[in-house]
Structure 1
Amino acid sequence: MLQHLRPALAVTALFTLLLGLAYPLAMTGIAEAVFPRQAEGSLLARADGSVFGSRWIGQHFEGPRYLHGRPSAAGSDGYDASASSGSNLGPLNETLIEAVKARAAVLRAEAPGATIPADAVTASASGLDPDISPEFARLQAPRIAAARGIGEADVRAVIDRHSEGRLFGFVGQPRVNVLAVNADLDSSAGAGVATQP
């Protein structure tokens, strides 16, 4: 029995060191050398160096001064990274239908006659989407401009500055990073970045 156990333990120890320690350390080192910003989490920081978020994790913003992200079903109040998930409600679920209708009613009151993009009223699968569609971002420009007392063209310019197209021209959808736009709006106004947890 011992002659069978010893090789098994040796192979387990070898692969634990190789695949559990050496390989992850090598990949981390390569990532840090080749893509340092991404390897560190694509963090966004204020002028004083304090980090206020990541480009890859959505945050909840309230108030008319800020670009709002997608609705979130992560946690009881949304955007809870410890409870990342969607609602798992099907398209015929009455709760989902009522939630979508309520979200659409708020947007129709804010922008009468506007076409409401799907991402404005539906939550993402993770509940932590950092991006929204350019259409949803532009729909919010008049509200943000009025609340900040600046021109709508200025708000649209900030949105356009943080808009990204499809990867390689055909992968994914065009998108706007909510946190980056809000940070830019706050820094342009000289108010610092007032992110909300």
Structure 2
Amino acid sequence: MRMSTWIRQHVAALRALLVLTAITGIIYPLAVFAVAQLPGLKDNANGSLIESGGKTVGSSLIGQSFTDDKGNALVQYFQSRPSAAGSSGYDPTATAASNLGPENIVDSAPDKTGLLTTVCARSKTIGELEGVDGSRPFCTPGGVGAVLSVIGPRETNGTVDHPEKVVSVNEFCSVTKTPFLAEYKGVKVECAVDGEDYSAGLIVPIRGDAPAQPVVPADAVTASGSGLDPHISPAYADIQIARIAKARTISEDQVRELVDAHSSGRVLGFMGQPRVNVVELNLDLDNRYPFRA
């Protein structure tokens, strides 16, 4: 007795299901796994894990914070770039960026800072830590965004030539009484009052006299898109060498030698930027020149 068309179709479908399940669910994954274990591919496929003393201490692909429980830099370690991944940074389960853009220059409150003040504060802190000039264009000496709200009648070209009031919008009266600029266009500059809205005024960033090329490089004050970048620029590593050498009582040449050993150039000679792997570098420092408090 011949099987009905309906039964034949379902038997064929069942065969296809079993064959494709075997190919895509068993054979293909095993083949990919086998290829990934070949020399030259195995390390990356297994997560580029780093071991020390028989324990896995991290991955060369994922950055770490080298700070104390209060977020202060540990002086014996090279510092990573900032991270917006998770509440304390470098959380692989919460990889993310801050989503703050270049137009985010006005703070909503002393503890709710925009991108500009965040960058200014980081640059000032790093400058003090490393003993270098931490000033940046459009930043006040106090480490906040140098931005004014110029309130008054607008001219046809959008400027305010005769201001009635000028406010340093990122310097709050609850924090500072003396704005970074005494006056603007003949009008005394005031500090900002918490909760006040100054968006009606013309928002004017003030460049200041900081160098066009800051000593503290950009990667030291901005987070990566993933928040997990294990690398810093050679320029950021360079300004940290003196501090590391002093903390570990070794010469700067010894530290620089390790920096060079953990540095990489552009991928294929033209993609990306030269970089230094901070995780591997700090582990090598601990192995060769242990820190003694």
| Equivalent in the alignment of 2:51 | 45
Instruction: Quote the Cα distance in structure 1 between the aligned partners of 2:99 and 2:17.
Output: 39
| Worse-superposed segment, 152-161 or 67-76 | 152-161
| Equivalent in the alignment of 2:281 | 181
Instruction: Quote the Cα distance in structure 2 between the aligned partners of 1:8 and 1:142.
Output: 70
Between Structure 1 and Structure 2, the one with more strand by share is 2
**4+ residue stretches of structure 1 with deviation over 3 A?**
1-14
Instruction: Quote the Cα distance in structure 2 between the aligned partners of 1:5 and 1:85.
Output: 47
Query: TM-score by structure 2 length?
Result: 0.60
> Would you say 1:87 and 2:98 are equivalent positions?
yes
Instruction: Quote the Cα distance in structure 2 between the aligned partners of 1:133 and 1:6.
Output: 61
Post-superposition offset of 1:5: 5.0
Corresponding residue to 2:131 among 111, 133, 142: 111
Instruction: Quote the Cα distance in structure 1 between the aligned partners of 2:117 and 2:10.
Output: 61
Check whether the contact 2:43–2:49 (CA below 8 A) recurs between aligned residues. Answer: yes
Q: Which runs of 5+ in 1 are unaligned?
A: 192-197
Instruction: Quote the Cα distance in structure 1 between the aligned partners of 2:251 and 2:244.
Output: 9
The alignment partner of 2:57 has SS state of strand
Query: TM-score by structure 1 length?
Result: 0.87
Cα deviations by residue, 1:44-84 (Å, 9 ceiling, x for unpaired): 111x3211111101111120100111100000110111101
Kindly, what percent of the aligned residue pairs are identical?
Answer: 46
| Equivalent in the alignment of 1:30 | 35
Letter in 2 for 1:14: V
Please tell me the root mean square deviation across aligned C-alpha atoms, in Å: 1.9
Q: Which runs of 5+ in 2 are unaligned?
A: 1-5, 68-73, 106-113, 134-213
Post-superposition offset of 1:14: 3.2
> Would you say 1:138 and 2:158 are equivalent positions?
no
Number of residue pairs matched?
190
